[in-house]
DNA sequence: AACTTAAAGTAGAATAATTCTCTTCTAATA
DNA sequence: TATTAGAAGAGAATTATTCTACTTTAAGTT
């Protein structure tokens, strides 16, 4: 992902293009592992040591608000972020904090058809995500 | 759920039976809406005004550890708890913090068969939960 | 290119959910 | 009833995140 693509994402949402916003969005894309705010701060400060903590939190909120990133649900007390906006599911390690993406269009179709015919009483489905909990058999490359 | 059933759950796990543990487990069962620690504390203090905050947090940890309750994954920064241990999924309201249970054995079978034949490379599935995000069409009774 | 200004960034203090420390109490067993 | 390991309690500490009160800047306007 080139810097210009990132700039365009911001412009398309009517957000001012700032070096901080570019760095933060770039960090989430490059880290590509559902980083925490702290992970993002550490990564950015290697090149941009003066970015303020509050800036990172505020930019993260703005990016979530404008649907350029998403929060990832966990059962830990720090937030994690995801720059992949297309529909996908997550593999959660049951013994560590590792979270990986799981893309599966066949599964999405299956679920869509299942709920289309079955439905849920008094509930209008907007989105379905799987939390697939288990063990990774290989450590990350 | 009678008090004796709750006591037995504790005894079965080798946990000492204390009034605090009974109250906390009972609160999560009765509230039945994936309460936060604060919800639990408020509920219990109506009858037991002196229970310490730290006790509630410590008991919650012990109950999770002993698989009498579970944490519920959210994208908010306070934990929520669930006393229903049988396999089920969750309906998340997209505009409020409401979380409701969704039980569906047909769906569980479908998913089990799907992943049995398909599998996920380098990953051993232990559990699959759906986060079904959307709108409730009726407020809670 | 300089001017304007609403929006964004910053430092540090504040907040709030949770955890820790240390003391007192009690459930379970003998 | 006496013993004691484990649990509860009070309040301080911690820590992820948010707020406050500025200063700075992106981007449109002249
Ligand atoms: Mn969380
Ligand atoms: Mn917190
Ligand atoms: Zn993802
Ligand atoms: Zn539940």
Shortest Cα–Cα distance, A16 to chain B (Å): 26
Tell me, what's the pLDDT at A79?
98
Rounded Cα distance between A122 and A128, Å, is: 16
The tokens for B87 are 């396999």
Q: Distance from residue A68 (CA) to nucleotide C19 (C1'), in Å?
A: 34
CB contact under 8 A, A107 and B114: yes
Q: Give start-end residues of each CATH 3.30.1490.190 domain in chain B.
A: 89-134
Rounded Cα distance between B133 and B130, Å, is: 9
Minimal Cα distance from A123: which residue of B? Answer: B136
Rounded Cα distance between B127 and B116, Å, is: 12
Pick the CATH number of B89-134 from 3.40.50.300, 3.40.50.10860, 3.40.50.2300, 3.30.1490.190: 3.30.1490.190
Q: Distance from residue A85 (CA) to nucleotide C1 (C1'), in Å?
A: 41
pLDDT per position as a tens digit, A19-71: 999 999 999 999 999 999 999 999 999 999 999 999 999 999 999 999 999 99
Task: Point out the ligand nearest to the CA of residue A78.
Answer: 1
CB contact under 8 A, B73 and A77: no
Higher pLDDT, A16 or A138: A16
- pTM assigned to the model: 0.93
Minimal Cα distance from B114: which residue of A? Answer: A107
Rounded Cα distance between B78 and B69, Å, is: 16
Rounded Cα distance between A30 and A47, Å, is: 14
- Determine the topology of domain B3-82 in CATH: Arc Repressor Mutant, subunit A (1.10.10)
Q: Distance from residue A63 (CA) to nucleotide C4 (C1'), in Å?
A: 27
- Flag whether pLDDT at A121 surpasses 70: yes
Q: Which residues of B touch A (CB under 8 A)?
A: 71-75, 77-79, 91, 94, 100, 102, 106-107, 110, 114, 118, 120, 122-138
CB contact under 8 A, A131 and B126: no
Tell me, what's the pLDDT at B1?
77
Q: What is the DSSP letter of A47?
A: T
Rounded Cα distance between B85 and B73, Å, is: 14
Q: From the candidates A60, A93, A111, A138, which should be mutated to test the interface with B, based on the most B CB atoms within 10 A?
A: A111
Minimal Cα distance from A127: which residue of B? Answer: B133
A66-102 residues labelled b (16+ CB within 10 A) or e (exposed): eebbbbbbbeeeebbbbbeeeeebbbbeeeeeebbeb
Tell me, what's the pLDDT at A1?
77
User: Which nucleotide C1' is nearest B15 CA?
Assistant: D6
Task: Point out the ligand nearest to the CA of residue B129.
Answer: 4
The tokens for B72 are 């519920």
Q: Give start-end residues of each CATH 1.10.10.10 domain in chain A.
A: 3-82
Q: Where are the beta strands (DSSP E) in chain A?
A: 70-72, 80-82, 89-93, 99-102, 123-136
Q: What is the mean pLDDT of residues B89-111?
A: 97
In this prediction, residue B11 has a pLDDT band, given cuts at 50, 70 and 90, of very high
pLDDT per position as a tens digit, B15-67: 999 999 999 999 999 999 999 999 999 999 999 999 999 999 999 999 999 99
Phi, psi of A114 (to 5 degrees): -60, -50
Burial of B31 (0-12, 13-18, 19+ CB in 10 A): middle
Q: Is the CB of A53 under 7 A from strand C?
A: yes
The side-by-side arrangement of strands in the sheet containing B123-136 is A99-102, A89-93, A123-136, B123-136, B89-93, B99-102
């Amino acid at each position: 992902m080139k810097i210009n693509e990132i700039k365009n994402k911001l412009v398309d949402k009517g957000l001012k293009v700032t070096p901080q916003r570019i760095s933060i969005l770039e960090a989430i894309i490059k880290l590509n592992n559902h980083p925490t705010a702290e992970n993002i701060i550490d990564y950015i400060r290697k090149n941009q040591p003066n970015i303020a903590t509050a800036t990172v939190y505020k930019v993260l909120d703005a990016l979530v608000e404008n649907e350029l990133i998403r929060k990832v649900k966990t059962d830990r007390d720090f937030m994690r972020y995801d720059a992949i906006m297309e529909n996908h599911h997550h593999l959660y390690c049951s013994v560590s904090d590792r979270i990986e993406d799981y893309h599966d269009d066949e599964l999405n179709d299956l679920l869509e058809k299942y709920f289309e015919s079955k439905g849920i009483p008094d509930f209008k489905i907007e989105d379905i995500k799987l939390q697939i909990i288990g063990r990774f058999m290989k450590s990350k490359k």
